[in-house]
Amino acid sequence: MAAAPAAPTGALSATRLRMPIDGITIESFKGGFSESRGSRRHEAMDIVVPRGTPVHAVQDGTIAKLFFSVPGGTTIYQFDPDARLCFYYAHLARYADGLHDGQHVSQGEVIGYVGTSGNAPPDAPHLHFAIFELNADRKWWQGRPLDPYVIFKERG
């Protein structure tokens, strides 16, 4: 995959984001985006916190898809209000009660809980968090990865 740009093409121009986990700082995930994971780049940030820690929506938006995959485990794909960005939350222990596809969520709302689902080591609970700029088809799996550190540094 091609190198990600430092910032999206206007999708976050005036948007402030909230940290997905309470009590963490922007500096705590500096550099994680470019780390190697085998033959590929990580293109996300990992936030290591205790199992069961609440995960918050970083912005108002819509739950585009609740999904389980072998690598990500229990995951959430959340679109921003304009469906130009996708926020990806992975390795969750579980979703917040009642969370469902198509649901509107508010910034700061608890949407899930940290775990080790998918290919996360069982003794290393963490939130794998990524941001993708969507194309016109709104296919999150084809989104262009954006460095969360850069985005939060500019808009957090």
d(C-alpha 68, C-alpha 74), whole Å: 5
**Alpha-carbon distance values, 106 to 21, 77, 110, 134 (Å):** 15, 14, 9, 20
Chain segment 88-110, per-residue pLDDT in tens: 999 999 999 999 999 999 999 99
| Best CA proximity match to 12, nearest among 134, 106, 127 | 134
- pLDDT in the model for residue 33: 55
21 vs 13: which has the higher pLDDT:
21
Q: How many alpha carbons fall within 13 Å on the CB side of residue 94? A: 4
Domain ranges, ordered by start, for the chain: 26-155
Q: E-strand spans in 5-152?
A: 36-37, 40-41, 45-48, 54-56, 61-69, 73-79, 85-95, 104-105, 110-114, 126-133, 144-146
Q: What is residue 143's predicted lDDT score, i.e. its pLDDT?
A: 79
Q: So what's the architecture of 26-155 in CATH?
A: Distorted Sandwich (2.70)
Q: Which amino acid belongs to residue 94?
A: R
